[in-house]
Structure 1
């Protein structure tokens, strides 16, 4: 139920949804048509502003951990939500958040971690059989990443379940008290780290997916609306909703 509700509410809390709703409503509510269109314009200018977005990301995202500050660890945990499988094409497509996996592979190949735990089941309501870590595991095997270096956890549907199921795997290996490197996107790290610490794991955060940038004061960055900025706001707001709901549910 929690999984389904999060999918539905996600749509309602997207800035683009607010813009569309305001514009559509302006054609039917004549009395407030000008105010509704003005509201749509203000939402577009605010949430489409790259400078404002970057300032918020600077405040929210967990900074990158430099490799020079790492020790050697037995396990790195890569959280799912970065790959999509197309049965028609029999091919995996990686999203921007695929950086989670690729940073994990780099840590594996440079001997910062001995094994990667790929934690991620199905993120689809209609296709529960499409389990991310399983098809990513097949992909890695096809490109000659040793199966001995990868542990697959394919039942998790959200960050809370990532933490619970990873803990059970580590407990079965007698490693639940050892520090782990946690790999997820910078915007997601606060919630992920809190979830993993809640179940008793010692976490070394390793943020991926190009965190916030240095401040730019160029004209386009300061004034021109950006479609990519709108899209990133969707991700941030969804994450904040998730964090608040996890606090209320006692998951963090």
Structure 2
């Protein structure tokens, strides 16, 4: 099921959809449907070009991020626990010494800020991994980063089984219930927060969303009209979130 979901995500991404459209165009051309094949090929290229534009990427990411704008630490209310979703730290592989910080590592850094500001006494770190590729879970990798940021080990609780956001919410709710916790500060990237919040609230938790890792930045107009690989990546992640919300409904 996990592999199927990953394949589905790859297919709905702009890059995956464009490659699939191009391959389908090749098949149609081999079958003699040349006009239809050319039309499909052009459509696939236009689809890829559009979502590679920073203007398009900022538009779709902004739709998600604007639902949860940045919040100053002093404005964040108190809660019983800080819950940090995985996606910002890659655990060390077999034979590696240290985890690798990814673009979403702001999640862990912001959680450390909240803890040091005494917003909650407990930090729940969430994320499993594939043991065939990783020497530890993502939660353990985040724990190492958190300790480097000065958060004591006794304040950390790890959930290291989940592999997607639905499992994040389900397994975390079990752990939090065992600690008698129902009110949490949920920390994840801004584009991911709308779907994550809904899933955690569906588990009966009182969620205070504390979004971080806001990606949409103002830039000169001419740069918004030039294709960019980072824009394509951002578009893909945002589309995944939107499709995930629709599928959940």
The question of whether the paired residues in 2 share the 8 Å contact of 1:163 and 1:195 is answered with: yes
1:200 alignment counterpart: 204
The question of whether the paired residues in 2 share the 8 Å contact of 1:4 and 1:125 is answered with: no
The question of whether the paired residues in 2 share the 8 Å contact of 1:76 and 1:115 is answered with: yes
Q: Which TM-score applies when normalising by structure 2?
A: 0.86
Q: 1:96 to 1:128 in 2, by over 3 A?
A: closer
Residues 1-252 of structure 1 mapped to structure 2, 5 A cutoff? 1=1, 3-30=2-29, 31=34, 32-61=36-65, 62-84=68-90, 85-122=92-129, 124=130, 127=133, 130-141=136-147, 145-176=151-182, 179-214=183-218, 216=219, 218-221=221-224, 223-247=225-249
Cα displacement (A) at 1:211: 3.9
Cα displacement (A) at 1:49: 1.2
Runs of 4+ in 1 over 6 A off after TM superposition: none
Cα displacement (A) at 1:9: 0.6
The question of whether the paired residues in 1 share the 8 Å contact of 2:93 and 2:134 is answered with: no
RMSD: 2.3
Q: Which TM-score applies when normalising by structure 1?
A: 0.85
Aligned pair count reads 241
Cα displacement (A) at 1:140: 3.8
Q: Deviations over 1:179-226 (max 9, x none)?
A: 211001111111111111111111110111124334x452121x2111
The question of whether the paired residues in 1 share the 8 Å contact of 2:21 and 2:44 is answered with: yes
The question of whether the paired residues in 2 share the 8 Å contact of 1:79 and 1:100 is answered with: yes
2: CA distance between counterparts of 1:138 and 1:218? Answer: 41
The question of whether the paired residues in 2 share the 8 Å contact of 1:65 and 1:205 is answered with: no
Q: Which runs of 5+ in 1 are unaligned?
A: 248-252
Q: Secondary structure at the match of 2:81?
A: strand
Cα displacement (A) at 1:78: 0.2
2: CA distance between counterparts of 1:17 and 1:239? Answer: 16
1: CA distance between counterparts of 2:50 and 2:227? Answer: 8
Q: 1:125 to 1:233 in 2, by over 3 A?
A: farther
Higher deviation after alignment, 106-115 or 76-85: 106-115
Q: Deviations over 1:105-135 (max 9, x none)?
A: 111122222221101112x395587421123
